[in-house]
Amino acid sequence: MASSFNIDYPGTSNQFVISATSAITEKGGVFNGDSTKGIFSIDTPIGDVKGSYLVLSKPDDPESKIEVTITDKPFLVPIRRIESVIASFLMK
């Protein structure tokens, strides 16, 4: 079952894409998207995390609201933990 949450990113949607691409690919994951929407996947020792994102803000807004939807995750990992990890990736 899919689960969604929002992240407030402290930058434009283009900056979000650069940050997310770097953070996810550095962890061995895959990130495909642009400043409006995209998909990602990250392998973990206990299973894959897969999802998508949708930028809810205007492209030139100085801060971006991002809706993240997790479509696949390890059964034992709570969605709040995934939200926390993804947010920490992006705030570096």
What length does the chain have? 92
Going from the C-alpha of 14 to that of each of 32, 34, 39, 67, 72, the distances in angstroms are 13, 7, 15, 15, 26
List the domain boundaries for the chain.
3-90
Going from the C-alpha of 5 to that of each of 52, 56, 85, the distances in angstroms are 11, 12, 13
- Predicted confidence (pLDDT) at residue 89 exceeds the cutoff of 80: no
**pLDDT score of 82:** 85
Kindly report the pTM of this predicted structure.
0.88
Q: At 31, give phi and psi (nearest 5°).
A: -135, 120
- Helix (H) or strand (E) holding 44, with range, is strand 37-44
Looking at domain 3-90, its CATH superfamily turns out to be Kinase associated domain 1, KA1 (3.30.310.80)
What percentage of the chain exceeds 90 in pLDDT? 62
Over the stretch 6-44, which tens digit does the pLDDT of each residue have?
Answer: 999 999 999 999 999 998 999 899 999 999 999 999 988
- Predicted confidence (pLDDT) at residue 91 exceeds the cutoff of 70: no
